[in-house]
Amino acid sequence: MQAIRSILVVIQPDHAEGLALKRAKLIAGVTRSHLHLLVCDDADDHSGYLRQLCNTLQQDGYSATGQQAWHGSAHDTINNAQQAEGCGLVVKQHLPDNPLKKALLTPDDWKLLRSCPSPVLLVKTHGPWTGGHVLAAVDVGNADDEHRDLHTRIIDHGYDLASLAKAELHVLSAHPSPMLAAADPTFQLRDTIEARYRQQCRAFQETYDIDDQHLHIAEGPADVLIPHFAQQLHAAVTVIGTVARTGFSGALIGNTAEVILDTLESDILVLKPDSIIEHLEQQLSER
């Protein structure tokens, strides 16, 4: 996160509390990043509002620019601005979706998480980050190259956020429940699953310097455990990875980051592995 030089902040003029800008200022205050403010709208003129925001930020010592644009949808507008400005982080306030609408249409923030090449911080809470807890969720049981890359990103960003906010980093990893039909006998008994998983976690802890007090291993689905532990720890922000599934497979399987978005009682930072980032950047360059 220290390498971020420019932050894209999605400004929603109809939500005056400006939670996204509040978080972006906290990060920029430490990283000295430039703040690029974006209003996604093709109807009303917000140039005066943007100019006022930028002037205030500059008076407070921040580097800031503003832009209003529209490219057919909010997530496409954000992605275009992120690529054009070279922003290393997108910060946006998340508002809960109407359940009926969510059942019929893919929510805009889901589309953003699937399609944006850069890390996305979705801000949900008013509470301060300082002095609290950061929760990083990893899947230690998956040790392929893509997941190892993702684990490194998640833990690195978790440590960066904890340092930035003078907070404690906690790490959560879920393991599956016993499956009698599993081909491997290891996955048929609870004791053997847990023993194998804890062995994998030892290597993980040594790699990332995480002690037992700050590692939480639990049995069950990640989309249930992550909100539970975030609430238990009173986490200010949760860091999670996504493989950015799209299309039919994404609709059927779902991504944990999307599923927990409305139930999680913390801000959420969503990261992707290098292979996905390169693919998404290639897609955007071909448009």
CATH topology for 133-285 is Rossmann fold (3.40.50)
Q: Does 151 or 230 have the greater pLDDT score?
A: 230
Percent of the chain whose pLDDT exceeds 90:
56
Percent of the chain whose pLDDT exceeds 70:
86
- pLDDT bucket at 145, cuts 50 / 70 / 90: confident
| Domain range list for the chain | 6-93, 133-285
Q: How far apart are CA 236 and CA 208, in angstroms?
A: 21
Q: For residue 203, what pLDDT is reported?
A: 85
Does residue 252 surpass a pLDDT of 50? no
pTM of the full predicted structure?
0.89
Half-sphere exposure of 19 (CA within 13 A, CB side): 17
- pLDDT bucket at 100, cuts 50 / 70 / 90: low
Q: For residue 193, what pLDDT is reported?
A: 67
Fold identical between 6-93 and 133-285?
A: yes
**Digit-coded pLDDT (tens) for 45-91:** 999 999 999 999 999 999 999 999 999 999 999 999 999 999 999 99
What is the architecture, at CATH level 2, of domain 6-93? 3-Layer(aba) Sandwich (3.40)
Q: For residue 147, what pLDDT is reported?
A: 78
**Digit-coded pLDDT (tens) for 218-227:** 888 889 999 9
Nearest alpha carbon to residue 21 among 66, 82, 85? 66
